A = this chain, B = another copy of it.
Amino acid sequence: MNETIKLLQNHRSIRKFEDKNLDKDTVQTLVKSAQQASTSSYVQAYSIIGVTDPEKKKAIREISTQAHVENNGHLFIFVVDYNRHKELAAKSDYDLSFDSTESMIVGVVDATLAAENMAIAAESMGLGIVFLGSIRNNPAKMIEILNLPEGTFPVFGMAVGYPVEEGSFKERLPFEAVYFENEYPEFDDVKNVLNDYDEAVNQYYKSRDENKRNDNWSKQVVKTLSKKERLDVHDVLKKQGFLGQ
């Protein structure tokens, strides 16, 4: 197993950082590593906003309700971005559009490929990271804070910094429950594997140092997915020019 694979397989989210900002060189290295990820048809349908203004960080923390959104080495917001393409098209004979579901998928995929590269680059430098889907608690407010124009949407954030905790390793679904050959299986074929996994996750929650509880994966995700949340994401996307057809 090479060093990169060890790094990938040892990922854990970090939510407590030293009070020390990333320097400019580090930010540049992270962004450049992010940018070299694959991008759909060379479109590069995303931008990255680094939030350093303390007032803005505080405002975003209020949306996320997570202290590490304010207290970190650097806060990156990943933005689906067709605005620059729209501006460039205005001078051309082409009738550019990005209001299909397909275009939104392209933008989300491009932003996410870049972000995961940044995560790995950061971890390879000894930094810690955590993704922040929580900015979608209030995408309209995020758009206001970052002054985001038509053709853009803030899809998630990432807090990066010098870790002051190790983070805990969370066991993923068993290989047999996530990888299938040639076709999707019947649920009965994976049921037992999921039961074993629930058992293992339950042991983890019972045995960890902080926030011990009696829980397992199935219970947890079923509960999470039964919450009707972030239903405004759709309307905000429409307002930004997406999902028109």
Contacts and interface: CB of A to CB of B under 8 A. Distances in A.
B136 A222 contact: no
Nearest to A223: B94
A148 interface: yes
Contacts of A79: 184
B136 A88 contact: no
A89 B226 contact: yes
A200 interface: no
Given A8-B121, A36-B9, A233 B53 contact: no
A83 to B, nearest CB: 7
Interface residues of A, number: 115
A203 B110 CA distance: 25
A208 interface: no
Contacts of A222: 85, 88-89, 92, 94, 96
Interface of A: 1-5, 7-11, 13, 27-29, 31-33, 35-44, 46-53, 56, 79, 82-85, 87-89, 92, 94-98, 100-103, 105-106, 108-109, 112-113, 115-117, 119-121, 124-125, 130-131, 133, 136, 145-149, 152, 155-156, 170, 172-173, 175, 177-184, 187, 190-191, 194, 217-226, 228-231, 233-234, 237, 243, 245
